[in-house]
Structure 1
Amino acid sequence: MRLIGRTGWSATAAAVLLAAACATDSHPDRALTTSTTTPRRSTVPAADYTFPTEWAGNYTFQWSAADGIDLAAPNAAVVRAFAESKRLAMSVGNTLSYPGYSAAVSAVDWLNTPDGGAYPVGAEHGDWQLRWSGTFLARIMRIQLQPKGFAAAYCLDYTNVADSIDGGSTYRWNRPGQRGEPRRGWLIGFTAQDLADNIPDQPVTTSLTPGPPDRAPHYNVFEGLRVTRAWGPTPHDVDSATLVEACTTWTRNNPQTNPVGIDSVHRRIPADPPPDPTPPYPGWPGRHG
C-alpha cells in the first residue's frame, strides 16, 4: 500500500455577502444544486492548467504548518490543493477548479459546486460573479495517517481578503468577525482514502523547470485519492475542538492589513483599490523558460 504518508447558498443578499468569505465552508446544507450548461472556461489537460484569475479574482494562499509537517510533502500538498480548490470552486465550480479536484470530492455531496460557482445562488446558470482579491492565510493544523489514507485539518484566515459579488467590478472589505469579538479562523477537515493497494510512494515527476512558484498546480495532486468525508468549521470530535482553539490563537496573531477593525461600526467598506496578493507560498512548481 502506498503510504499516504505519501509523508498530504435565497436567504438575503446580505447573508450572501457574509458567506462570500466563509459561509459555504460553515453551512454544507446550503450547497447548491444548480448547474451551468455553457461554462465560459473549458477544461484543459492538467499540464496546461492555469489559475483562472479572470473568473476567480486576484488572490493567493500563504501557507504555514504545525511543527513536524513539511509543506512540500505529498500529503501536505494534497491538503493545500484541497483548500485552494475548494475556495476556487466557489467561483468557477468543481470541474474548472484544480486538476483532479472534482473527481476526488465527488462522494461528498456538499462539496459539489456546479460550474459557474456559488453566486448568484439559485440562478439557472452560474454567472461567475464571485471574486476575491488579496491573500488567504492558511495553516495545516494536523495530518494523521490512517491504514489506507489520512485525515487532515487546516485553518483558514480570510481577514486580509476583499470580496466581490459583481464579477470584480467592485470589491469590499469585510469586518473580520462579529463586532467586538476577537478574530477567528475557520477550521476545515477532511479524510482522504488511497484508492490503490501496493503502490509505492513516489514523487510526482513533471517537466517543469525551477523558478518562481505558480499559483496553481500543473498536475493532478489528487491522483489515486478520494475524499470520503469533509467537515467544518464546527468541530466533529474532542480532538478537533482543541484544534479550533489553536486555529483561533493562530488567526489572532496574524498581521491584519484589512482596514476594518473588529470594533468598527461598519460591517464592510469599499476596497478601492482592492488589495494586491502577496506571492503564493509555497505555491506550485512553475512552468518557466
Structure 2
Amino acid sequence: MNRNRLRATLASAILLLTAGCTTSTSNPPDSAGTPAYRPPEQVRNATVVWSAESDVNLFDSHSTLVRAAAEALEVAVLAGPEKSYPGFDQAVTDPTTRDIYFRSGSRATAYGTLYKHIFDIIPTNGGFTALTCTLFKEFAYESEHGYKIPQSGRRGNALSITFSNIASSHTEIPRATTTSTPASTTPSPRTSGPAEWEAPEDNLFEGWTIEPGSADDYRSERCAPWIATLEPNAPAETETVTTDSPPQALPAYPGWPKLH
C-alpha cells in the first residue's frame, strides 16, 4: 500500500467518526492588535492529555511543536483548517495532505478527553519527525444518533508528523534539549483546572512546514505498550459505541499558558 493510500486510510478513520475576542484599547494583546486565538466551539467541550516516553522531554521546543501540531490537526478535521491553531493552515502546504485531512462535509463536535503520546522525535535533514500515538478512551463525537465513542484497539492510532524548517532545509537540526526533567510515561491525571480545550494563543508554526502521515502509520504496533498502560482490556480492533450522553472531560495536560 502506497504512502497516499495509507494516509487516506488514517484520515478516513477520523472522518468516518465525525459525521470572538475583542482588542482592549488599554492593554492590547500585541502591537498589531490581533485578538488571541480561541478554540472553536467544536472542541471546547473536549481536552487533550499528553504523555511521552521516558527519553522524550514533553516540554522542550520540539515536543511543544509536536503537541501543537497534533492538536491543531484534530481541530482542523473537526472545524476546518481556517479555525485551527494560528499558522497551522499555512504550515500544511502539500495539496494531497490538505485534501485528505481538510476535506469538508465531516464537521462535528467533540466531547471528553483524548489521550496522546509522543513515542519518539527523530532529527532529519532540515527538521525532525515525531512519532505519536492516540488513545480514544473517554472521547466522543456528536452525531444525529447520539454520541459516538470510538474504543481504540490494542494498537491505538499511530501517526507521524514531519516538520521541515523553511530557513534550514539543508541543515540537520539536533534534538531539542532543556534542563528540565522529562515527563513520566503516564502522568497522573489533573483533578483541578479547566476541563475545556486549551490552545496556544499565538502562532507556533512560523518558519515550519508540517506534513502529517507516513507509510508506517495507522496500523503500527509501536503504540501497543503505551495503550496497555491506560487500557489493559482494550479490544483487539477499534470499536465504536453510541451513547445518549457525552463523556466528561478531564483537565488538559500540560495545557497551554494564557498570555493575553
TM-score between the two structures when normalised by the length of structure 2: 0.69
What's the CA shift for 1:147? 3.0
Q: Partners of 1:216 and 1:95 in 2: how far apart?
A: 15
Unaligned runs of 5+ in 1: 1-22, 32-40, 121-127, 178-182, 204-211
Which of 41, 48, 73 lines up with 2:36 in the alignment?
Answer: 48
Query: Is the contact between residue 185 and residue 251 of structure 1 (CA under 8 Å) also seen in structure 2?
Result: yes
Q: Within 5 Å, which residues of 2 pair with 1:214-233?
A: 215-227=198-210, 229-231=211-213
Which of 265, 268, 278 lines up with 2:241 in the alignment?
Answer: 268
In the alignment, what sits opposite 1:286?
Answer: 258
Q: Deviations over 1:229-288 (max 9, x none)?
A: 4325x616xxx98xx3330221122148xxx9749xx9523141x112111111111247
Query: Is the contact between residue 49 and residue 113 of structure 2 (CA under 8 Å) also seen in structure 1?
Result: yes
- CA shift in 2, pair 1:271/1:75, >3 Å: farther
Q: Deviations over 1:28-59 (max 9, x none)?
A: 6998xxxxxxxxx89x987510111x233511
Q: Deviations over 1:163-184 (max 9, x none)?
A: 1134xx942334444xxxxx33
Which of 40, 52, 66 lines up with 1:79 in the alignment?
Answer: 66
Q: Deviations over 1:39-81 (max 9, x none)?
A: xx89x987510111x2335111100111221111111111111
Q: Deviations over 1:104-150 (max 9, x none)?
A: 11225223455xx7444xxxxxxx4x121111111001101123111
Aligned letter for 2:209? R
> Stretches of 4+ moved more than 6 A in 1?
28-31
Query: Is the contact between residue 162 and residue 271 of structure 1 (CA under 8 Å) also seen in structure 2?
Result: no
- CA shift in 2, pair 1:146/1:173, >3 Å: closer
In the alignment, what sits opposite 2:221?
Answer: 245
Q: Within 5 Å, which residues of 2 pair with 1:36-185?
A: 48-52=36-40, 54-112=41-99, 113-114=101-102, 118-120=104-106, 128=107, 130-166=108-144, 170-177=146-153, 183-185=154-156
Q: Partners of 1:140 and 1:25 in 2: how far apart?
A: 21
Aligned letter for 1:189? S
Query: Is the contact between residue 64 and residue 139 of structure 1 (CA under 8 Å) also seen in structure 2?
Result: yes
Q: Partners of 2:127 and 2:11 in 1: how far apart?
A: 26
Q: Partners of 1:29 and 1:64 in 2: how far apart?
A: 23
1:191 and 2:162 matched: yes
- CA shift in 2, pair 1:270/1:72, >3 Å: same
Unaligned runs of 5+ in 2: 1-6, 24-32, 179-192
| Count of aligned pairs between the two proteins | 215
Q: Partners of 2:137 and 2:9 in 1: how far apart?
A: 15
